[in-house]
Amino acid sequence: MNIIDMLLKPDKRFFLQFKAESGSCWTSVPFPRELLKKYSSDSSVLSRRNVRGVAMPARSRILIKDAALYWPNFVRGLGSFQMRSTSGKPSALTVGWQCGEDKAPVTVVSSGADMVRFSVPPAPEGYHDLVIAAGAENSTPVFLGVHQMLDRAELFSRMKGDGVEIGPGPKPQALPTWKRRVRYVEQATPDMWQSLYGKETPTPVDKNLWKRYVVGTADKIPVEKGSLDFIFSSHVVEHLANPLGHFAYWASLLKPGGFVAAVIPDRDGCQDYTFPASTVAEIVAEWRTGDMQVTPEHFRRWGKVQMPKSTVEDLMASGRSIHVHFYTPSTMADLLGQTAAQVGFQRFSITCQPNHKDFFVVLEK
pLDDT tens digits, one per residue of 336-350: 999 999 999 999 999
* Fold topology of 3-148: Jelly Rolls (2.60.120)
Mean pLDDT check: name the lowest of 85-99, 247-261, 346-360. 85-99
Query: Is the confidence at residue 234, as pLDDT, over 60?
Result: yes
Query: Is the confidence at residue 111, as pLDDT, over 70?
Result: yes
Chain segment 152-166, per-residue pLDDT in tens: 998 999 999 999 999
Query: Is the confidence at residue 190, as pLDDT, over 90?
Result: no
Q: In 3-state terms, what secondary structure has residue 35?
A: helix
For 98, other C-beta atoms within 10 Å of its C-beta total 18
Query: What pTM value is reported for the model?
Result: 0.88
- Name the architecture of domain 153-364: 3-Layer(aba) Sandwich (3.40)
Strand order in the sheet with 358-364: 213-215, 180-186, 161-166, 228-234, 254-265, 358-364, 347-351
Instruction: Please give the C-alpha separations between residue 307 and each of 14, 39, 302, in angstroms, as whole numbers.
Output: 20, 30, 8
pLDDT class of 48 with cuts at 50, 70, 90: very low
Range(s) within the chain of domains with CATH label 2.60.120: 3-148
Mean pLDDT of the chain: 87
The whole-angstrom separation of Cα 354 and Cα 46 is 14
For 304, other C-beta atoms within 10 Å of its C-beta total 12
Query: Is the confidence at residue 296, as pLDDT, over 90?
Result: yes
The whole-angstrom separation of Cα 145 and Cα 16 is 16
Range(s) within the chain of domains with CATH label 3.40.50.150: 153-364
Return the pLDDT at 64: 93
Query: Is the confidence at residue 136, as pLDDT, over 70?
Result: no
Helices (H), 13-71: 32-36, 67-70
**Cα radius of gyration rounded to whole Å, the chain:** 23
More confident residue, 322 or 33: 322
Return the pLDDT at 108: 85
